Each structure stands twice: as C-alpha cells, then as structure tokens.
Chains A and B, each alone.
Chain A
Amino acid sequence: MVISKADLDISTIRSYLTGDKRAFDDLVERYEKFVYNLAYRMTGNNTDAAGLTQEIFIHLHKKLASFREESAFSTWLYRLAVNYSKDWLKKESHRVEITDIDEAILPDGGMLPGQVCEQKEIQGLVQAAILTLSKDQRIIVILHDLYGYSYDEIVDITGSPIGTVKSRLARARLKLAEKLAPYGNGLEK
C-alpha cells in the first residue's frame, strides 16, 4: 500500500497532537527546505532567513492544533509561511527592499552590465533583482518561477484571485526582464 505525502502529513500531525513530540521533527524534516528557501528569497540574506525560518516554525508549532484537515497540510503550511513572511517584512526593521539593482551589486563585485558573469554572480544579481519587487510580486515569482507551482496552486496558497496572481506575475516578470536584461548573456556562457 502506498501512502501519499498528504496522508503521511495527517498521520504525523495526529501523532504530534496526541503527545509524540518527535512527530514535529518529521514535519520539520519534510518542510524546512521549502520554508528556508522561501525565507531566503524573501529577505536576501542568511541571517534574516535563519531568523524568519525559526519564527515560522515556532508559529507553526503554536498553530498546528488549529489545522482542520480541510486542505493538504503542505498548502496550509505554505499559506502560513507566506503570510508570516509578508507580515515579517512589513515591520519597519525588516525592510529589505532595494531600489536599484546596481546598488546591490556594484559595490561588491564591480560588475558592469554586459560583463560575462559566473553562475554564482548571476545568482546574486537575480536575488538582488527579486528584492526590488514588491512583497506580493516576490512571492508569486518565487512560487511560480522558482518552485514551479501552477497558477491554481498559487491561488490556494496565497488566497488571491487567479487574475491577481497572473497580473502580479506579469508585472514582476516585466520588471525583472528590464533589471536583468544587461546581464542575461551570462546565462549563455
């Protein structure tokens, strides 16, 4: 008999709620990578990503008893993580928006548009460009272009109407296209 991931999650959560604390570690094992990567892409640095990841799991720990099994746990957790990340970024002290991609890149590497970039440098450029997006655009780009979630899945996770998801993605991609165009040749290397 094959147990689906969703069934496994439900079973794990029930174990945890009946007193098996180790079951929470199983949830951490399954979802820490998603949450950490989301946190990193939203904040752009290790320190904030580490802090945000821990806060999300602490929040999950508090809220787990309220999971009603009405949707897949993964969708519920992603929604919780996305909403928590947005609230976290709203706080004045956590603002990480960068107004100009060049500000984020040039001081360190002295990289100029058109210069052939190494893969690691490209990743830094792309991360900096993502940080120039609004929080909502950032989330859609991360979920769709980085994680590969469909429009419908993103609707479930974010709670936004499909038209909003599409338009945010379109605006985000247009902005990224302009920001990254001078550096795009690095990919062809």
Chain B
Amino acid sequence: MNCKDINDLLSAYIDNELGADEKMQIDSHLRDCPHCGEKLTKMKSAVKMVRSLGELEVPADVSHALRGIAHDEIDKPAQKRRMLLLPRVRYLIAAGAVAAIALVALLSQIDLSAPDKSAGVRQIPAEKGVPSGKGYSGPEAQRAESPSQSAPAAGQADLNVAKPSAKKIDPWPEVIASQKNYDAKAADRLLADVKKRTENLLTVNDAKNLRGQITDTLIERISSKTGTNGELMRSPINSLLDQTKRSAAPVYMEKAKFNKQGCWVVVIRWGFGGVENSLYRASIYVTDPSGWSLFYYASS
C-alpha cells in the first residue's frame, strides 16, 4: 500500500471498519511513515472535535411553534400561528402598550406634518382609491394629504389602478420601503386599506395557478424597491402562505418598522371554496427582517 491508499482508508481505520488484513497493512505502513502517522493524528483529533459539539437544546419559541402546526385550524389559519409562534411577542406588545398609545399620537402628527418623509423611497406609482380620512396613515394616506404630492389626475391614475374586475396582477403585489413606524392600530388600519384596495383582485383559482408567478413578482419587487435581497424572503413568505392552509396569495409588502424595530409588513389574501370564489379574507403579518419571527398578526 502506498500513502494514497492509506489516506483513503484512514477514516475506516479509525472506525474499526477494516478487515484484519487491511488493518495489518496500515499498521505496518504507519510504523514506517511519519507523514501518514501525522495525518492519522490530525484526523483523530478532528473527529474528536466534531464529537465534542454535543447536542443543542431547541429554542423555546421554535418548540412552541412546532406544537402549533397540527392545531392550525382551517377557520382561523393564522390566529393559532400567532398564538403559538412567538408567545414572547405578546409580552412585548403588552409591555409596550402604554408607550404605543403615546407613539400613535406622535406618529400621527409626524405622518401628517411630514408627508414627504417616505415619499423618497416609495417606488409604487400613486393609486386612486386611497381612502381619505379614515385610511391607515401610511404612505398612500400621506401622499393623498400632501400638498406637494397631490393625487394624480383621474386619467393618469387609471393607468396604475388595479381594477377589481380585471384580476390584473400588476401593480400587485405592491412592495414599498418606508420609514413608517407601525404599531398594532396602524397595522390594522393598513390591513383594512389594503383589503379594500384588493377586493376581488384574486380568486381561488388565481391563488392556485398563479402563486409562483405572484411570488416571483413579489421577490423581484422586494429586490428592486427595498434594496434587500428578495430571495431571502421567498421561504418565509411561502411558509406564511402554506400555514394559511387555504388558497392564498401575497398582495402587499412593506419594509418598515414596528414599535421602532425593523420589520416586514405582509398582507396576504386568502379564501376557499370554488375556483371562481374571491380570496375574500385578508391577514396582516408583521415579521422581523428575516421574515421568520412574528411581531404582530391580525385578520380581517
């Protein structure tokens, strides 16, 4: 046996997986070859180091989330998920409740007084149909109320409007980056607004047949409009859609903040029944920047 033959067998030699004859030949070679002897020592040391890694405990939030998988009821697809995924979030929200109320007031002032704050990074064309007065105080509301960014004329706006009956994907799913700092109430207002603007946009059939296309568009827009790698969000988004357990499609994503922490705001429309049925329900998920930890959830 030469050194190369020995190299190929050292691993099995360590595991005592060689026949007596091969083992004798290696023993004999090792007595005369310090080079192979050194390799054996290094390999034994490496194996010992790997074995020293030990077993990791499963983080409590992951463990909790896993126990929610089988109980994710059809009628309340994400409600359970919220309860089970990250219980610590509820404490966070509860603990921040008082501060959040003050923050809402503060943000409302900021939003109304500084309408251009997010306009610089907003990429989606202005759209008609933004609820005035009672909509969420997000970019659309800011834009609508901004004296310097008046709403486009009806003719212009029509070019960009997703007409409910047209089932047109573009400009949906909408993706924007903003400086907005959401709290639960602002998220609920956003959900109501996006739900209104995407009413009858997609059917159960669309969700089944166009999910890949819609997600691809979403990923592409995340990359082009938020400066982050959209592909990183593919898996978390698919996970959200899968856990909805109904025909579902993403319609809105915003890179923003939630209680001053960086976040993604995701709105998913979902529904069930016949293929022509509309995705009549909508849910909002606020996740951390990785998309895997849930800060907030609501369904409409």
Contact = CB atoms under 8 A, between A and B. Distances in A.
A32 B243 CA distance: 19
Contacts of A92: 231
B239 A55 contact: yes
Contacts of A65: none
B46 A184 contact: yes
B52 A32 contact: no
How big is chain B's contact interface, by range? Answer: 35 or more
Given A21-B71, A32-B58, A170-B11, A57 B46 contact: no
Nearest to A62: B242
Interface string A111-129: 0000000010011011101
Contacts of B49: 122, 125-126, 176, 180, 183-184, 187
Nearest to A64: B70
Given A91-B234, A166-B12, A173-B43, A40 B17 contact: no
A184 B242 CA distance: 45
B55 A24 contact: no
A28 interface: yes
Contact of B235 (A94, A145, A167): A94
B46 A146 contact: no
Given A57-B66, A166-B11, A93 B231 contact: yes
Contacts of A130: 50
Interface in B28-51: 39, 42-43, 45-51
A61 B72 CA distance: 11
A145 B51 contact: yes
A151 interface: yes
Given A53-B62, A55-B239, A91-B235, A181 B45 contact: yes
B160 interface: no
B8 interface: yes
A16 to B, nearest CB: 7
A141 B50 contact: yes
Nearest to A172: B11
A170 B14 CA distance: 10
B292 A187 contact: no
B300 interface: no
29 contacts: A21-B70, A24-B69, A25-B70, A28-B63, A32-B62, A32-B66, A33-B56, A37-B55, A50-B61, A50-B62, A51-B239, A54-B65, A54-B66, A54-B292, A91-B231, A91-B235, A93-B235, A126-B52, A129-B46, A146-B53, A170-B10, A173-B10, A173-B47, A176-B43, A177-B43, A180-B45, A181-B46, A184-B49, A187-B49
Given A51-B236, A123-B52, 19 more contacts: A28-B66, A33-B56, A36-B62, A37-B56, A51-B235, A58-B242, A61-B69, A91-B235, A123-B54, A125-B49, A129-B46, A151-B17, A170-B8, A170-B12, A173-B10, A177-B42, A181-B46, A184-B46, A187-B52
The 6 closest A-B pairs by CB, nearest first: A24-B70, A93-B231, A170-B11, A184-B45, A177-B42, A176-B46
Interface of A: 16, 21-25, 28, 32-33, 36-37, 40-41, 46-47, 50-51, 53-55, 57-58, 61, 88, 91-94, 119, 122-123, 125-127, 129-130, 141, 145-146, 151, 166-167, 169-170, 173-174, 176-181, 183-184, 187
Interface of B: 7-12, 14-15, 17, 39, 42-43, 45-59, 61-63, 65-67, 69-71, 229, 231-232, 234-236, 239, 242-243, 290, 292
